Amino acid sequence: MKRVIGRKVLLLFVIGDILGAGIYALVGKVAGHVGGALWLPFIVAFVLAALTATSYAELVGKYPHAAGAALYTNKAFNIPFLTFIVAFTVMMSGITSASAAARAFGGRYLAEFVTLPVLVGAFIFLALVALVNFAGISESVKVNVVLTIIEAFGLLVIVAIGVWALITGDGEPARAIEFHPANGAFLGVLGGTALAFYALLGFEDSVNLAEEAKDPQRDFPRALFGGLVAAALIYMAVAFTATMLVDTKTLVSSSGPLLEVVKVAGLAFPPKVFAAIALLAVGNTALINMLMASRLVYGMARQKIIPPFFGAVHPTRSTPWVAIVFTIGIAAILVASASDITPLADTTVLLLLCVFALVNVCVLALRREDVEHQHYRAPTWAPVLGAVVCLFLALPVTGRAGDVYLRAAVLVGVGVVLWVINWMFVGRVKEIDPTKITD
């Protein structure tokens, strides 16, 4: 790939990956864990995400190739089955994230334009995503920059509303420091943090631009940490504004919490325009995730890691239609099986926490291997603490429901079944090239 992406565009891409469905849909759900001080879990989530970000920054600088966690796992352990499971888990996390976005799309924001049951709106949305995916439209950096500006604009509208409220004396700023954890202080913050983590997960997708960055060794760490800081500051300002202007009960019960903020704001902004921005942000998250998921399935099939049938390409559209049907089918089942967005977001977080824990181990294991070029090196305590934190947050102690673990186990189990079927009919997989899975 040509190295054409500079630091500024890379920074915007990282911010764009992070901003999206999470903050637009989950502010109220996080408030359900801690009450008015819903900004607190976002701060804690940012600190914890930064630990794993140090590992990604070192590994991208050391191995500036697309493929991310699967590549690092393969280099660290060279166990084909483990590499496959990591790639499959990342793929499934994209599907669960898209399913969460689909439910968010079918909720309060869509109701500004048309009244439909949430499931109907979500299924219509998934059908549209499938059609776009089938048509062969793929994401590009330039499109991502435009969508990043739109998504960020919507959040800056909320921040501006908050500033205006403070100037004019509207709202109740004191509510932002009211701490009413549902299950005690520690478990309340822990549960809120585990859910808020969903809003910060996008940074790991940015590693796929490593091969196209002009100077990944220098630019990627700065873009990654800069993007995380920028997103965290926006999130905390949005969270403060939301809890200052809207009571916690309303936030918790709404599937479009930021629209509730716009509707009570003293600074007028058309609710329908904001709803459209939110739908775009949520829709972009789902589309990128499903594009990624279907291409990963296609790449695995082309490498004969899973049955080759999944690598079938449509004769006229030149798109992996079987992989698209497979991933959309799983997303539809997930949407139908979940009561709301929370269990789907929790499943996404659980899957990626397991991947993050392994990435933190990989960065330490790969220090036995030197490379000729200079690159960022994480302080050793960061990946160690990152691995411990990720494993801890993956435990049921966070208050995560049992069905989340069952859902995650079933999704990963699908990959195991496909591996076994492929082994029975195609043969043993002796080697995997993770970079070809993501091509």
Select the more confidently predicted residue: 412 or 142: 412
At 214 the pLDDT is: 72
Instruction: Name the token pair of 121.
Output: 């709106």
**Contact status, residue 437 vs residue 299, Cβ threshold 8 Å:** yes
Instruction: Name the token pair of 95.
Output: 């599907």
At 208 the pLDDT is: 65
Residue type, 380: T
Q: Which stretch of 150-154, 282-286, 321-325 has the lowest confidence by average pLDDT?
A: 282-286
Separation between Cα atoms, residue 272 and residue 284, nearest integer Å: 18
CATH superfamily placement of domain 7-437: Amino acid/polyamine transporter I (1.20.1740.10)
Report CA torsion sign: 290, 427, 420, 85. Answer: negative
Separation between Cα atoms, residue 30 and residue 22, nearest integer Å: 11
Residue 327 pLDDT grade (very low, low, confident, very high; cuts 50, 70, 90): very high
Rounded to the nearest angstrom, the gap between the alpha carbon of residue 244 and the centroid of all alpha carbons in its chain is 27
**Contact status, residue 65 vs residue 435, Cβ threshold 8 Å:** yes
Model confidence at 181: pLDDT above 70: yes
Q: Give mean pLDDT, residues 356-365.
A: 94
At 3 the pLDDT is: 59
Model confidence at 426: pLDDT above 80: no
**Given phi > 0 = left and psi -120 to 50 = alpha, else beta, which region is 5?**
beta
The single-letter DSSP state of residue 372 is S
**Closest to 258 (Cα-Cα) out of 233, 283, 276, 285:** 276
Q: Which stretch of 53-62, 63-72, 87-96, 100-109 has the lowest confidence by average pLDDT?
A: 63-72
Mean model confidence pLDDT for the chain: 85
**Closest to 392 (Cα-Cα) out of 329, 350, 336, 338:** 350
At 62 the pLDDT is: 83
Instruction: Name the token pair of 314.
Output: 């449509």
**Given phi > 0 = left and psi -120 to 50 = alpha, else beta, which region is 431?**
beta
Select the more confidently predicted residue: 291 or 121: 121
**Contact status, residue 99 vs residue 344, Cβ threshold 8 Å:** yes
Task: Give the Å distances, CA to CA, from 396 to 32, 90, 134, 332, 389.
Answer: 18, 21, 38, 26, 13
pLDDT tens, residue by residue, 381-400? 999 999 999 999 999 888 88
Separation between Cα atoms, residue 136 and residue 75, nearest integer Å: 32
User: In percent, how much of the chain has pLDDT > 90?
Assistant: 30
Tokens 């990604």, located at residue: 56
pLDDT tens, residue by residue, 237-252? 999 999 999 988 888 8
Model confidence at 380: pLDDT above 90: yes
Helix residue ranges, H only, 303-428:
321-337, 341-365, 381-393, 402-425
Select the more confidently predicted residue: 335 or 131: 335
At 336 the pLDDT is: 93
Q: Give mean pLDDT, residues 210-220.
A: 71
Model confidence at 185: pLDDT above 80: no
At 139 the pLDDT is: 44
Contacts of 45 (CB under 8 A, 6+ apart): 193, 196, 197, 199, 200
Separation between Cα atoms, residue 166 and residue 164, nearest integer Å: 5
Tokens 């972009």, located at residue: 284
- With H, G, I as helix, E, B as strand and everything else as coil, classify residue 70: helix
At 5 the pLDDT is: 65
Question: Helix 39-62 and helix 216-245: axis angle, to 10°?
Answer: 170
Select the more confidently predicted residue: 388 or 370: 388
Separation between Cα atoms, residue 282 and residue 275, nearest integer Å: 10
Instruction: Name the token pair of 43.
Output: 């701060």
pLDDT tens, residue by residue, 132-167? 777 765 544 455 567 778 888 999 999 999 999 888
Environment class of residue 316 by beta-carbon count within 10 Å: exposed (0-12), middle (13-18) or buried (19+)?
Answer: exposed
At 1 the pLDDT is: 47
Rounded to the nearest angstrom, the gap between the alpha carbon of residue 234 and the centroid of all alpha carbons in its chain is 17
